[in-house]
Structure 1
Amino acid sequence: MLQRIFTFFERYSFGVCTYLGERFNISISKIRLFFIYTSFLAVGFPLIFYFFAGIVLDLRNYIKRQHTYYR
């Protein structure tokens, strides 16, 4: 049951932690823990950053797909 929950969130999340982990060569689980812990300490501010970064990454991927489609 717990594995299904993890799979759901990994599949349908924005991929911000994965992007940051690959970009800066840091473990993805450490970045996720950082977001979780700082969300408790900073009263949710990192969640706002996470959603904003997710929207930016989604738009970036959308633009890349459109650019390759019209080539």
Structure 2
Amino acid sequence: MNRLKTFIEWQAFGVCAAVGEKMGIATSRIRMWFMYISFLTLGSPIIVYMVLAFWMNIKRYMLAARRNPLRYL
């Protein structure tokens, strides 16, 4: 059950989990404030969330390519 929770948190809520880990704040609190701010500002933080998700994904590919440069040829 713990593996499922970890998988869902990092795949579906990877941005909130990563921000919480970097700042030392509970992930649930980050998600809660993200929802509150999204409702108050009519969803504009979703754009920031998407940019951060894109950045994290690119960063993961860059690290993988650095470890094995022939992987993506």
TM bucket by the smaller chain? Answer: 0.7 to 0.9
Q: Which aligned runs of 4 or more in structure 1 are off by greater than 6 angstroms?
A: none
The corresponding residue for 1:3 is: none
The corresponding residue for 2:16 is: 17
Cα deviation for residue 62 of structure 1 reads: 0.7
**How many equivalent residue pairs?**
66
The corresponding residue for 1:56 is: 55
For 1:51, give the aligned amino acid.
M
Cα deviation for residue 11 of structure 1 reads: 5.5
The alignment yields a C-alpha RMSD, in angstroms, of 2.2
Cα deviation for residue 12 of structure 1 reads: 3.4
Residues 22/11 of structure 1: CA separation in 2 closer, same or farther (3 Å cut): closer
- Segments of structure 2 that go 5 or more residues without pairing to the other structure are none
For 2:37, give the aligned amino acid.
T
State the distance in 1 between where 2:19 and 2:34 align.
Answer: 12
Residues 11/60 of structure 1: CA separation in 2 closer, same or farther (3 Å cut): closer
Share of identical aligned residues, percent?
35
Residues 57/7 of structure 1: CA separation in 2 closer, same or farther (3 Å cut): closer
